[in-house]
Chains A and B, each alone.
Chain A
Amino acid sequence: MNAPIKNTVSLSLRIPEPKARPGDPIDFSGLNVPPAGSAPRPDTRANAFQVRDLAFTLIRVLDEAGKAVGPWDPKLSSALLKSGLRTMVITRAYDDRMYRMQRQGKTSFYMKCTGEEAVASAQALALEDDDMCFPTYRQQALLIARGYPLVDMMNQIYSNEKDPVKGRQLPVMYTSKKHGFFTISGNLGTQFSQAVGWAMASAYKGDSRIACAYIGEGSTAEGDFHSALTFASVYDAPVILNVVNNQWAISSFQGIAGGEESTFASRGIGYGIPALRVDGNDFLAVYAATKWASERARANLGPTLIEHFTYRAAPHSTSDEPSRYRPAEEAKGWPLGDPVERLKAHLIALGEWSEDDHKALEKEATEVVRAAGKESEAIGTLGQSRPSVKEMFEDVFKETPWHIRRQRQEMGY
C-alpha cells in the first residue's frame, strides 16, 4: 500500500479581482494587442483545430493610421463604409437621447451600447436582411441598420398607445420578425440556444437563411451557452455564435466569467467549433469575421463562434453607477479606441470623408433622432399614453380561457 499523500501546503480559495478599482490608475497591462493585419485568414473549410490560434489572437484590420491592412481586409466600398458609419452614429445619438429621456422621468429604464456599436452595425451589413438575429439588449443597431422605424423603438420604450408590444415589456425589449430580430428576453442566455434551434429548423427545411446569436461574456457562464455550443456542434447548425466581451457584467469584470484562464473564443474549440477572436471596435474586422462565419454556415460547414473584444463605455443601464466599481477613466483609456472614431479615421485616410462631413453626419443623426423623438413623445411618454388595459389579458394564450376572461371583466374591460 502506498503511503497517503498529504498536501504540503494548506488549500486556499482564490477569488479573481480586476486590475483596477475606483481610485486606482487604469491598468490594461495584461492586454495583448497584436498588430493589425497579423492574423492569417484561413479557408472557411478549415476545422476548429486548424484555426485554433485565431481563438487566442485578435483579428484586426484597421491600423493606427486608419489604414485597412492584412488578409482580413474585406475591401468594402466607400458607400458601404459610410452606411456602417451612419448606423453607428445614429445608434449613438439614439442612445444618448433615450438615456436622457429616462433621466427626465419619461420612461422607467434604458440601456446603451456605447463603445460597442461596431458589432451589430457591421454584422447587419455582413448578414442578409432575412437572417434571423437573436440579440441581447445591446444590439439595437441591428434594428436601426435594417430600417426599423426609430419612432417604433421609442414607442416601445415609452409603453405608449403605439407600442408594438402593447405596454407589456420593459424598455429596450424590442421585437420584429420582419426585421429578423427575435423578441428579447430579460433572462440572460436563454436565446443563445434558441438561435441554434432556429438554425436547425432552417437546415431541416432546406432554407438558405442562417441564425445569428448574441450573448454577453458574463452570461457565457449560464448553462444555455454550453447547450448552444453542444447542439450547434452536434447538428452542424448554420449559426453564428457571438460572444460580446465588453469586459464587464454589471459590476463583475470578465474574470468572474472565467476570462482570465482562457479567451471566450477558445470555449468553441472544446466543442470542435471554429472560433475567431476579433477586435470588436474595428468595424472592418467584425465585418470580415462575420462574412467568414456566414460563408461557413451557408456552405453547410456549421457554426462559428466569434468573440468580439470590446468595452462597455456606458453604465450597465440607467440603474447603474460604474464609478462605484471601476475607474472612471477606464473607458477613455481602452486601448482599442472608439469604433466610430476608428471608422471615421479610416474613411478620412481613404480620402472619402472629412471632419466637416462627420459633423454634418452627427448633426443629421441628432435631427433624425429628435424628429422621431418628437413624434413618439407626441403620442405620449410612459404614463401619459398607453394601450388599452385590455391588452394586459391578451396573448397569454391564443384564445383567452374563461378564468382570464373573468379576471379581465373584474377589471372592467
Chain B
Amino acid sequence: MATMNMIQAINSAMDVMMTRDPDVLVFGEDVGYFGGVFRATEGLQKKHGLTRCFDAPIAEGGIVATAIGMGAYGLRPVIEIQFADYIYPAYDQIVSEAARLRYRSAADFTAPITLRTPYGGGIFGGQTHSQSPEALFTHVAGIKTVIPSNPYDAKGLLIAAIEDDDPVVIFEPKRLYNGPFDGWHEKPVEPWSKHADSDVPDGHYTVPLGKAKVVRPGSDVTVLSYGTMVHVALAAAAHAGVDAEVIDLRTLVPVDIETIVESVTKTGRCVIVHEATRTSGFGAELSAMVQEECFYHLEAPILRVTGWDTPYPHAFEWEYFPGPERVAKALKRVMEG
C-alpha cells in the first residue's frame, strides 16, 4: 500500500503491467524521456527501456493507427493523447477502425489497445485544453469508455483496460490529478493524501470495467456522475442539505444499468451531472435509460446539470463549469417536484 495521487496511480498501473507483460508498451507525444506533460509516464522509459516507452510524432491519427497495428500483431499498446482536445485527428482510426476490427473480421483481428487522455476543464486551459468529448466515443459501437474519479479506481481501471481485449478509451479528469477538486474553486484543493481513495496497492489489482460505485448512499435523489463531477456532486449534496445517493459510473460503456436502476427505484428522483456540453451529451443517454427503466418510480422529472452548449471559454471558466451551486439548485428543484 502507498499513498498516491492520481498521476502516481496511473503511472503505477502502467509500471505494473509493463513489468508483468512484455507485450505492454507505452507511447505518445512527450511520454518518453520527459515522462509526459502531466508526468504520467515519468520514469517508465528509464526503468523499462527505450522501446517500451517512447515519444511519438505529433500525429494523433498515426499514434492510434500504429497502436491498432501493434494490437493486431498481438501487443497491448497503451497510448497517450496529450489532451482529449487533440484526439480528433485520430477519430477516424478510433471510430472506423479500432471500434470495428473485431466485428468486421469476425474476431479474426482485434484491437486490444488502451488510449489514455486527460480531459475536462478547471485549469484555465481555454477551449483547447478543457473539453469533455466522451459522448463522441460512447456513441460509437465497439469502444469501451472509462472515466475514473480517484487514484484507487484510476489504477484498477487502467489495469483492467490494459488486460481487456477490446479498445478502451480512458478519459482522465486532469483537474483531479493532484486532488479531489469539488468545484469550490476559491478554496484550496486538498491533496489526495487526505482522501481514503489515495490508499493504493503497489502491485496488481483491477477495478472491473462496467461496474459503478455508490460513493454516497442516500434516500432522497440519485445523482449520476463521473470524473470531476463526482466530487462536485458530493459537495453539492452537502451544500443543498439533500440526502443524495451519489453514483460514480466509472465506466460509461458498458454502463452499469443495474446499479442505476436499483438506486433510482429507491429514491424516485434523478439528477445527472456532467461537464460536457448538454446537447447530445451522455446525460441524454442516461436520462433516456432511467426513463425507460424506472418511469413508474419517478416522482419528478429527471434533471441534467451540464456545461453550456458553447466552446469552453477562458475567462468564464467558472460560469461554464457546472459547479456545486448549480448542482445544488437542481437537487433542490428535483426535491420540490
With an 8 A cutoff between CB atoms, is A219 at the interface? Answer: yes
In the assembled complex, which residues on chain A have CB atoms less than 8 Å from the CB atom of B21? none
Cβ-defined contact, B51 with A185, below 8 A = no
Cβ-defined contact, A411 with B319, below 8 A = yes
With an 8 A cutoff between CB atoms, is A170 at the interface? Answer: yes
With an 8 A cutoff between CB atoms, is A407 at the interface? Answer: yes
How many Å from the CB of B327 to the closest CB on chain A?
13
How many Å from the CB of B136 to the closest CB on chain A?
15
Residue of A250, A387, A396 ringed by the most chain B CB atoms within 10 A: A250
In the assembled complex, which residues on chain B have CB atoms less than 8 Å from the CB atom of A250? 29-30, 34, 37
Given A108-B314, A167-B316; A219-B58 close (CB under 8 Å) = yes
With an 8 A cutoff between CB atoms, is A39 at the interface? Answer: no
Distance, CA A171 to CA B125, complexed state (A): 9
Stretch at the interface among B191-199, B257-265, B303-311: B303-311
Stretch at the interface among A13-21, A307-315, A352-360: A13-21
Cβ-defined contact, A222 with B59, below 8 A = yes
Q: Mark B115-150, 1 if CB is under 8 A from A, else 0.
A: 000000000111111000000000000000000000
Q: Which of B62, B310, B315 contacts A386 (CB 8 A)?
A: B315
- Nearest chain B residue, comparing its CB with the CB of A18: B33
With an 8 A cutoff between CB atoms, is B337 at the interface? Answer: no
Cβ-defined contact, B129 with A170, below 8 A = yes
Given A170-B314, A396-B309; A186-B126 close (CB under 8 Å) = yes
Cβ-defined contact, A169 with B55, below 8 A = no
- Nearest chain A residue, comparing its CB with the CB of B307: A407
Distance, CA A403 to CA B279, complexed state (A): 9
In the assembled complex, which residues on chain A have CB atoms less than 8 Å from the CB atom of B30? 250-252
Cβ-defined contact, B310 with A393, below 8 A = yes
Q: Which of A17, A222, A324, A325 contacts B58 (CB 8 A)?
A: A222
Distance, CA A404 to CA B33, complexed state (A): 45
- Nearest chain B residue, comparing its CB with the CB of A251: B34
Cβ-defined contact, B58 with A186, below 8 A = no
With an 8 A cutoff between CB atoms, is B243 at the interface? Answer: no
* Interface residues of chain A: helix, strand, loop or mixed (majority): loop
Cβ-defined contact, A187 with B55, below 8 A = no
In the assembled complex, which residues on chain B have CB atoms less than 8 Å from the CB atom of A404? 308-310
Given A173-B126, A186-B126, A389-B319; A159-B311 close (CB under 8 Å) = no
Q: Which of A17, A163, A188, A219 contacts B50 (CB 8 A)?
A: A17
How many Å from the CB of A94 to the closest CB on chain B?
20
With an 8 A cutoff between CB atoms, is B167 at the interface? Answer: no
In the assembled complex, which residues on chain A have CB atoms less than 8 Å from the CB atom of B62? 221
Cβ-defined contact, A167 with B315, below 8 A = yes
Residue of B30, B37, B59 ringed by the most chain A CB atoms within 10 A: B59
Cβ-defined contact, A393 with B308, below 8 A = yes
Distance, CA A322 to CA B189, complexed state (A): 28
In the assembled complex, which residues on chain A have CB atoms less than 8 Å from the CB atom of B37? 250, 319
Given A17-B50, A185-B128, A392-B320; A167-B314 close (CB under 8 Å) = yes
Cβ-defined contact, B86 with A168, below 8 A = no
Cβ-defined contact, A163 with B34, below 8 A = no
Distance, CA A252 to CA B29, complexed state (A): 8
With an 8 A cutoff between CB atoms, is A109 at the interface? Answer: yes
Distance, CA A169 to CA B312, complexed state (A): 9
Cβ-defined contact, A15 with B316, below 8 A = no
Q: In the complex, which residues 216-258 of chain B have their Cβ closer than 8 Å to any Cβ of chain A? A: none
| Chain B interface, number of residues (Cβ within 8 angstroms) | 39
Cβ-defined contact, A257 with B33, below 8 A = no
How many Å from the CB of A20 to the closest CB on chain B?
12
How many Å from the CB of B90 to the closest CB on chain A?
10
Given A187-B85, A221-B57; A324-B129 close (CB under 8 Å) = no
With an 8 A cutoff between CB atoms, is B32 at the interface? Answer: yes
With an 8 A cutoff between CB atoms, is B61 at the interface? Answer: yes
Given A15-B32, A221-B58, A393-B308; A168-B314 close (CB under 8 Å) = yes
Q: In the complex, which residues 160-192 of chain A have their Cβ closer than 8 Å to any Cβ of chain B? A: 163, 167-171, 173, 185-189
Given A186-B127, A186-B128, A251-B34; A396-B310 close (CB under 8 Å) = yes
Distance, CA A250 to CA B39, complexed state (A): 13
Cβ-defined contact, B32 with A168, below 8 A = no
Distance, CA A189 to CA B62, complexed state (A): 14
With an 8 A cutoff between CB atoms, is B278 at the interface? Answer: yes
With an 8 A cutoff between CB atoms, is B103 at the interface? Answer: no
Q: In the complex, which residues 306-342 of chain A have their Cβ closer than 8 Å to any Cβ of chain B? A: 319, 324-325
In the assembled complex, which residues on chain B have CB atoms less than 8 Å from the CB atom of A238? none
In the assembled complex, which residues on chain A have CB atoms less than 8 Å from the CB atom of B54? 15
With an 8 A cutoff between CB atoms, is A23 at the interface? Answer: no
- Nearest chain B residue, comparing its CB with the CB of A219: B58
Residue of B279, B313, B319 ringed by the most chain A CB atoms within 10 A: B313
Q: Mark A3-41, 1 if CB is under 8 A from B, else 0.
A: 000000000010101000100000000000000000000
With an 8 A cutoff between CB atoms, is A119 at the interface? Answer: no
In the assembled complex, which residues on chain A have CB atoms less than 8 Å from the CB atom of B279? 403
With an 8 A cutoff between CB atoms, is A70 at the interface? Answer: no
In the assembled complex, which residues on chain A have CB atoms less than 8 Å from the CB atom of B314? 108, 159, 167-171
In the assembled complex, which residues on chain B have CB atoms less than 8 Å from the CB atom of A324? 34
With an 8 A cutoff between CB atoms, is B88 at the interface? Answer: yes
In the assembled complex, which residues on chain A have CB atoms less than 8 Å from the CB atom of B86? 187-188
Distance, CA A385 to CA B29, complexed state (A): 36
Cβ-defined contact, B278 with A407, below 8 A = yes
Distance, CA A396 to CA B277, complexed state (A): 13
Given A108-B314, A188-B58, A392-B319; A170-B125 close (CB under 8 Å) = yes
Q: In the complex, which residues 25-78 of chain B have their Cβ closer than 8 Å to any Cβ of chain A? A: 29-30, 32-34, 37, 50-51, 54-62
Cβ-defined contact, B311 with A168, below 8 A = yes
Cβ-defined contact, B313 with A167, below 8 A = yes
Q: In the complex, which residues 120-141 of chain A have their Cβ closer than 8 Å to any Cβ of chain B? A: none
With an 8 A cutoff between CB atoms, is B22 at the interface? Answer: no
With an 8 A cutoff between CB atoms, is B203 at the interface? Answer: no
How many Å from the CB of B331 to the closest CB on chain A?
16
Given A187-B86, A257-B58, A403-B279; A325-B129 close (CB under 8 Å) = no
With an 8 A cutoff between CB atoms, is A69 at the interface? Answer: no
With an 8 A cutoff between CB atoms, is A256 at the interface? Answer: yes
With an 8 A cutoff between CB atoms, is A258 at the interface? Answer: yes
In the assembled complex, which residues on chain B have CB atoms less than 8 Å from the CB atom of A392? 308, 310, 313, 316, 319-320
Q: Could you list 19 examples of A-B contacts with CB < 8 Å?
A: A159-B314, A163-B315, A167-B315, A167-B316, A168-B127, A168-B315, A169-B126, A169-B314, A170-B125, A222-B60, A223-B89, A251-B30, A251-B33, A252-B57, A324-B34, A325-B34, A389-B316, A404-B309, A407-B278
Given contacts A109-B124, A396-B310, 15 further A-B contacts (CB under 8 A): A15-B55, A17-B33, A170-B127, A170-B128, A186-B129, A221-B59, A223-B89, A251-B34, A251-B55, A252-B57, A257-B57, A389-B316, A404-B308, A404-B309, A411-B308
The list of the 5 closest CB pairs from A to B, nearest first, reads A186-B128, A167-B315, A170-B126, A221-B57, A251-B34
